[in-house]
Structures are given as C-alpha cells and as structure tokens.
C-alpha cells in the first residue's frame, strides 16, 4: 500500500518578471502535473504574485501563510518549481529551506533534485547562488535600460504625476501603458491646482491647511490609476507633502539622485516659487513645537558641539531645557555605552533660563558694536588655530596607538595558533587591547573635534562679517519716540536667526 502524502504548492513571480510576460500560472500547472505523477495530494496552493525573490520568505504574504500552516502540520511536503522561485538570495533561500525542514515539511523541486547529503546541500547552495546572480544581472540590465531612456529624453516613472498627462511614444515594439516609455504633457486643470498649492505653501500655510482648503473646494485628489486617470476622494497631508517637495514641477528632476541624469518635463511652477515654498517649509519645521504652550528662543538653532546632533526642547518641573537628542535618547541607540562615553564630561543638557539671556545679550552687543565683535571673532580664530595645531599632534599619536593595538591583537591570535600561549591568555590579551582601544577611540574623537575647531571659529567670523553690513545691523527703538523697546518673542527669534544659523554649545560649559 502506497503512503498517502499531502503537499502544498508554492509559486512566485516578481513585478519585473511579469513585465517580461512571465505569469504564475505555468508554474502552478507544472507543479500540479508533478504531484499527479508522484501520487501526491495537493491540499493548498500559495501563489505570491508580484513579490520580489530577494524578500525574506516569512515576509511574503503567501510565504507567511505557508509557514503558519506548516507549523500546524496540515501537509507533509512543499512542492516548488525551481530554486529561484524559493528566493533569489542565497542566504535567505537557505534560511527558508532550513525552516521548512525544521517544521518537518521538506521542499521538493520539480526541475531539480537535492538530497540532504553534504553534496546535495552544496548543489542547493550553488543553484541559489546562480539565482541571486541572475537577479543581479536582471537588475543591471533594467538599470541600463532606464538610464538609456532618460538620456534619450524619456521620463522614467511608474505612474503619471499629478498635474501631467502621459503621451505615448511612437514605439513599434510595444504598446506603452505607463510613463516609463513616453513623455509628459501639462494637464491644465490639475496644473492650476499645483500652482495654487505652491503659492499657499510659500505664503506660510502647512500641509494640513492646504489639504483642508482643497477638500472644501471639492478638488479631486490624485489616485493610483497607472493610466493617468484620478480617483475621487479626499486630499491627505501626505499627498500635499509629496507634491510640494517634488522637484519635477520646476521642469527638471534628477533620476536616481544622480546630478548627471536629468529628466525634463513641462514646468508647472517657477523655480523661485518652488524655492520659496521649500524655505517656508523649513522655517515652519524649525518653529514647530511639540509643546506649543512654552516658547523656546533657540528652537531648531542649537546643535551639539560633540556629536553634531540637534538639541530637542523639553520642560520639566516648570523649567525649560535644551537637550542633545542623541544623548537624551541613548537607550535607543545601537551602542548606548559609546554615546554615553562621547558625551562624558560635556554639556548635553542646559536650562533655557541660563542660555537664552546670554544669547540675547550677545545679539544686543553685536548690534551695538559689530566691529568689536568682529575683532573678538578674529582673535578667537587665532586662539583656536593654536589649539587645533596641538590637537592635530594628539590625533596623529592616537592613530598610531590604534595601529599598535590592532597588531597586538593579531600577535596574540598568532601566538595562540602556534601553541606558544594558551587560549585563555590569548583572550585576556585581546580583551585588554580592546578595552584600551575603546578609550583611545574616545580620545581620538575628542582630539579630532578640537582639531576641527578652527573651522568653527572661521565660520563664526564669517557670520560677524555679514552682520557688519548696514542693512543687517539694526536696533530696537520706537519709531515715534525713539526710546528703546523690548522685542516680542517673534521679533527676538527673527533677530537671533539673523545672527546665527545654529548656536553651538561649548564642551566646557562656559
């Protein structure tokens, strides 16, 4: 009596393979015929249609379902047409095969046969490597084809952008359905909406406000129809964000972030309007507060002198604080101990009541006597340059010590391999070298920052030069009486932004 075996069929095609005319149905038919010949009973089929072979098996929709049912023991085996249907990454394909074997549902391939011997596992690894290599070749060919189309003046994109129409090219080989093989023309009705959105953004309106206005005016939003028609619905802030940050509406946009490959299309907004909208968005982002109840003069301007991270604003027990974002959130970092060591002995949290009055007094002094500030900045450049020279010598010495520690670790490993020292002694020597290396790396980071201090001082001197221009120097006086007046919070923030683009805290806390 023959053994009754139940199987599940798994099949997969990616989007690129679908474009080449390959569908998932032939795979399923071949697997069904194979199961009939072997006398297997097919109890389930799992077709992953349009899923990349580089994606882990358990992250695919049907692959995940297959693993869940395999854990329940609903079938004895899994039938797949060939190795590249399991995956086009050798490591991920091996993991998927091992997981199914662990669940006692081994894989049988229709076009290949691999046993569980060392030779069979080697063959499987080789075929999985061939599948990965083939995928890389396909990606490279696709990339070259897209670059060639961009260079020939075609607009390379999967969907038609809002504000444009797609015009098919005169292509004799294929019927083009998307903009990857044609050109874009202006859609006047939608283009007027795009222009209005950029005008609103340049005037200071945010994504939520723009989406609300468009919905009140019953303007049809973009949809996901690849043929260029747009579904009705509601505008979302994310949709507005995508349009306002898209450079294509100026008529040019780089392809694949390459400045040498420029895709061109009809411009819908002028370049200066687009730039004004981006500047206003940056200003709004810097002024946006998580807690709008409290005013922070330097929000978006404070940056850590140690790690370069921005400072976040927080309130605690009635006090306002500026805190280094990297140090305050070190527990979420991959290496919290390294973050703590870098900031050890530095100012990473400071009360706003202590910092903001110093900044205000500095701004007042600058406006009263900019020449004096410029002289002080020039003197600071000289002083920092001398310190940077000494720090440069420390950097060279610490780099040499790092090389010596690397050689010591290698020497310990070689001596243990030759039998001159025990493995325990080798581990002790390597641990000592690595502990010292951590301290040396920390000292090297601080020395490099000190060596770079001259650039920061020169940047400060450049800011002072800008402040000496008559059109930038001003005082706060009443226009009618001529008496000094205290600026409002908004005026203070504007004056501070005129002086600095960021305010760096000194590591000494002075």
Q: pLDDT tens digits for 163-198?
A: 888 776 655 544 443 444 567 788 889 999 999 999
Instruction: Choose between 504 and 476: higher pLDDT.
Output: 476
Task: Identify any residues that bridge with 484 across adjacent strands, giving them in sequence order.
Answer: 477
Say which of 14, 117, 203, 504 is annotated catalytic: 14
Average pLDDT over residues 203-225: 84
Domain extents for the chain?
6-140, 164-287, 302-359, 369-473
Q: Quick one: fold of 164-287?
A: Hect, E3 ligase catalytic domain fold (3.90.1750)
pTM above 0.85, yes or no: no
- By the 8 A CB rule, do 327 and 343 touch? yes
- Contacts of residue 315, defined as CB under 8 A and 6 or more positions apart, other chains included, come to 291, 294, 321
Supply the DSSP symbol for 180. Answer: G
**pLDDT for the residue 151:** 76
Strands (E), 50-168: 77-80, 107-109, 164-167
Whole-number Å distance between alpha carbons of 313 and 325: 9
Q: pLDDT tens digits for 112-140?
A: 888 878 888 888 888 888 888 887 888 78
**φ/ψ (deg, to 5) at 48:** -95, 100
Task: Tell me which of 3.10.20.30, 3.40.50.1390, 3.40.50.620, 2.60.40.60 is the CATH number of domain 6-140.
Answer: 3.40.50.1390
The number of angstroms, rounded, from the C-alpha of 329 to the middle of its chain's C-alpha atoms is 19
- Contacts of residue 262, defined as CB under 8 A and 6 or more positions apart, other chains included, come to 150, 252, 253, 254, 255
- Is 152 annotated in the active site? no
- Least-confidence region, from 194-203, 242-251, 283-292, 380-389: 283-292
The yes-or-no verdict on residue 273 having pLDDT over 60 is yes
User: Which tokens go with 417?
Assistant: 């391999």
**pLDDT for the residue 231:** 45
């Amino acid at each position: 009596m023959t053994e009754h075996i139940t199987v599940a069929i798994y099949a997969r095609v990616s989007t690129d393979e679908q474009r080449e005319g390959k569908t998932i149905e032939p795979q399923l038919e071949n697997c069904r015929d194979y199961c009939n010949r072997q006398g297997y009973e097919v109890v389930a089929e799992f077709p992953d249609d349009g899923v990349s072979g580089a994606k882990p098996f358990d992250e695919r929709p049907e692959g995940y379902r297959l693993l869940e049912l395999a854990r329940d023991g609903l079938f004895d085996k899994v039938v797949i047409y060939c190795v590249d249907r399991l995956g086009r990454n050798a490591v991920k394909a091996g993991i998927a095969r091992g997981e199914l074997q662990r669940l006692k549902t081994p894989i049988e391939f229709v076009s290949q046969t691999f046993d569980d011997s060392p030779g069979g596992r080697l063959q499987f690894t080789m075929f999985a490597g061939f599948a990965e290599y083939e995928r890389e070749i396909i990606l490279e060919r696709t990339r070259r084809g897209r670059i060639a189309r961009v260079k020939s003046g075609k607009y390379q994109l999967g969907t038609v952008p809002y504000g444009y129409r797609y015009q098919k090219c005169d292509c004799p080989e294929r019927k083009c359905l998307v903009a990857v093989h044609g050109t874009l023309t202006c859609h006047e009705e939608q283009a007027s909406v795009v222009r209005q959105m950029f005008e609103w953004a340049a005037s200071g309106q945010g994504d939520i406000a723009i989406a609300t206005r468009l919905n009140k005016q019953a303007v049809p939003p973009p949809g996901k129809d690849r043929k260029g028609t747009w579904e009705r619905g509601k505008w979302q802030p994310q949709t507005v964000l995508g349009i306002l940050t898209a450079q294509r509406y100026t008529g040019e946009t780089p392809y694949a972030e390459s400045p040498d490959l420029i895709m061109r299309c009809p411009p819908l907004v002028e370049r200066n309007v687009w730039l004004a909208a981006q500047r206003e968005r940056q200003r709004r982002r810097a002024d946006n507060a998580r807690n709008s109840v409290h005013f922070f003069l330097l929000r978006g301007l404070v940056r850590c002198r140690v790690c370069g991270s921005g400072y976040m604003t927080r309130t605690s027990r009635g006090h306002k604080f500026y805190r280094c974002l990297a140090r305050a959130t070190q527990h979420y970092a991959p290496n919290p101990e390294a973050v703590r060591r870098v900031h050890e002995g530095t100012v990473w949290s400071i009360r706003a009541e202590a910092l903001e009055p110093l900044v205000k007094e500095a701004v007042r002094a600058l406006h009263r006597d900019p020449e004096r500030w410029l002289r002080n900045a020039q003197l600071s450049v000289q002083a920092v340059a001398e310190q940077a020279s000494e720090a440069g010598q420390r950097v060279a010495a610490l780099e040499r010590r790092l090389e010596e520690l690397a050689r010591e670790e290698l020497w310990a490993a070689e001596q243990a391999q030759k039998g001159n020292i025990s493995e325990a002694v080798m581990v002790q020597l390597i641990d000592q070298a690595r502990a010292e290396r951590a301290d040396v790396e920390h000292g090297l980071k601080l020395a490099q920052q000190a060596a770079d201090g001259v650039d920061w001082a020169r940047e400060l001197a450049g800011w002072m030069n800008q402040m000496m221009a008559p059109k930038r120097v001003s005082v706060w006086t009443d226009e009618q009486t001529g008496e000094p007046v205290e600026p409002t919070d908004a005026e203070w923030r504007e004056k501070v932004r005129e002086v600095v683009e960021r305010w760096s805290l000194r590591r000494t806390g002075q």
